[in-house]
Amino acid sequence: MPTQTASQPPELIAPSGWNAVDFISDLHMQASEPKTFEAWCRYLADTPADAVFMLGDLFEVWVGDDAARVPGSFEARCATVLRNAAQRRPLFFMQGNRDFLLGADFLASASMTALPDPCTLVFAGERWLLSHGDALCLDDTDYQAFRAQVRSPQWQQAFLGRPLVERQTVARGLREQSQARKSQGMQHADVDAPTARSWLQAAGCATLIHGHTHLPAEHALGAGLRRVVLSDWDALARPPRRQVLRLDAGGLQRIGLA
């Protein structure tokens, strides 16, 4: 099994005025599924949280920031929603396995702050380790090889140098492959517990908060350590999945949105 070397991640120290923060991930938004987009818009307008942390796979696919410069595009609409929401509270974004190409141009246009993966949030008197989670799924060796390839500057430069229409065609093909795997009942590999413990110990944290696996739960890792998994979003599921993990002085709470 491959291993990952743990090192102390960067820290974000919350301002003293924050009372509550929200974590969401795996919305997989796309133009063809407007109900999830609309639920996300309502959530950003209504949440009482002092900050929102979006821990990856906000979008089903991201082929480059230039897609958001196309007038009337879905990506441009999302930038407007984010920019308006950021006027009320800070928004933080961490790249996932679907939107790892989301870059500085879109972050600036959407008024979001990038988060490294992993990073530590210091809030409510504790340290919380944040990650999308895909880098911890070590049993999926095919995906880890793919991840290493597409995260390389050389691959990204070559891909982003292709015409936008061509990149969108490639993305449609990848979505079709993903849907085919789901229809065959294939599941995400789960997080490697020893590596998760190593990350937590290196960061001086007791709790890891992550997404990616679409298996919302809390897992004890031993020695007082745990990982808490975020839910994905799907407004068309029965029942709909629109869940937020909120953190305040009382701890973590899962909140299902109407």
Is 182's pLDDT higher than 70?
A: no
Residues linked to residue 122 through DSSP beta bridges, in sequence order: 13, 127
Tell me the pLDDT tens digit for each residue of 29-48: 999 999 999 999 999 999 99
Strands (E), 25-142: 51-54, 91-93, 112-114, 119-123, 126-131
Average pLDDT over residues 158-169: 96
CA–CA gap between residue 214 and residue 12 (Å, rounded): 25
CA–CA gap between residue 62 and residue 95 (Å, rounded): 10
Which pLDDT score, from 0 to 100, does residue 174 have? Answer: 78
The DSSP symbol for 241 reads: B
Is 114's pLDDT higher than 50?
A: yes
Average pLDDT over residues 139-155: 94
Domains of the chain (ranges; CATH) run 11-256 (3.60.21.10)
pLDDT-based confidence at 5, cuts 50/70/90? low
Is 17's pLDDT higher than 60?
A: yes
Mean pLDDT of the chain: 94
Question: 0.85 cut: is pTM over it?
Answer: yes
